Amino acid sequence: MKLKFSKMHGLGNDFMVIDGVRQTVSLSPEHIRELGDRHFGIGFDQLLLVEPAHQPENDFCYRIYNNDGSEVQQCGNGARCFVKFVIEQQLTAKRAIRVETARGVIVPEMDLTGRIVVNMGIPRFTPQEIPFLADTAALAYPIMLSGKPYQIAALSMGNPHAVLRVEDLATAEVATLGPVLESHPSFPERVNAGFMQVIKRNEIALRVYERGAGETLACGTGACAAVVAGIRQGWLDHEVLVHARGGDLTIRWQGEGHAVMMSGPAVTVFTGEIEIGKAS
Ligand SMILES: N[C@@H](CCC[C@H](N)C(=O)O)C(=O)O
């Protein structure tokens, strides 16, 4: 099976994006792992598959896979690349697009400058919704990582996030604590592990060790989760500039019960065609 695709990124969080509207696509987790291999395949953090919508009032459905082959519910940088892809590929003439995700319908929108704003939905804090093993919801939870005590915030942006505040991101133990937190038994579906340095009330620096993909250059849902956790704990204002390793995102959140708004860029790197099953 030959598939046309675009290679895209949002702040260096990179994607293989496949048009499943005009092509018939059937991918196994093994295909995804092969394609995601940076040496023997295309290489990406996540694969995005764009499909026709199931409901007539929506424009598309899109599915998100980590490079380990696992399917996930939500992807912030991916949502922006999805919008650029369907406009660029002339799959739609709209600029505000209703898209079904495993988390529900979102309506990302491209403005006239090409910047994309995504309503990322309302964050969820109850342990069952994350999912996280705790008796009651709290602003922060104690957790042991590699034999040392830490405090984390835990929340769902449609996908699970843990956020740990650090003094200095340059020396944060992302490579060692990240995988330990990702697979901590308190998170039955694993978790995206964010390490946040508060610079000032409207500016943070963030690194995220992503579930199923390892540390990425940026994580959109991770940026939303970190800002929400920081606002809830009284450290941040309602609009925050987030410096990821791959660039900056702006996140806005008015507080409990409100949706998180994310804005940032999306870039197409190249387009190509690949025979599936022949990547290795
Ligand atoms: N890179 C993403 C998040 C992708 C999914 C995540 N790794 C998960 O497993 O939940 C983003 O920009 O949000």
DSSP state of 139: S
Residue nearest to atom 2 of ligand 1 (CA): 75
pLDDT above 90 covers what percent of the chain? Answer: 95
pLDDT of residue 278: 58
Query: Which of 15, 4, 88, 87 has its CA nearest to residue 271?
Result: 4
What residue ranges do the domains of the chain occupy? 2-117+266-275, 127-258
Please determine whether the domains at 2-117+266-275 and 127-258 fall in the same fold group of CATH.
Answer: yes
| Best of 68, 72, 215 for a ligand 1 pocket test (most atoms within 8 Å of beta carbon) | 72
Query: What interface predicted TM-score (ipTM) does this complex get?
Result: 0.99
DSSP state of 121: -
What is the model's pTM?
Answer: 0.96
**Ligand 1 atom with minimal separation from the 224 CA:** 13
148-197 pLDDT per residue, tens: 999 999 999 999 999 999 999 999 999 999 999 999 999 999 999 999 99
What would be the CATH architecture of the domain defined by 127-258? Roll (3.10)
2-117+266-275 belongs to CATH 3.40.50.1000 = no
Contacts of 6 (CB under 8 A, 6+ apart): 16, 17, 85, 88, 89, 268, 269, 270, 271
Place of tokens 């003439």: 93
Q: Residue 259 to residues 106, 107, 132, 280: CA-CA distances in angstroms?
A: 11, 12, 21, 42
**Residue 249 in contact with ligand 1 by CB distance below 6 A:** no
Identify the weakest region by mean pLDDT among 255-259, 268-272, 274-278.
274-278
Contact at 8 Å (CB) between 183 and 190?
yes
Q: Residue 100 to residues 79, 173, 198, 213: CA-CA distances in angstroms?
A: 11, 36, 34, 23
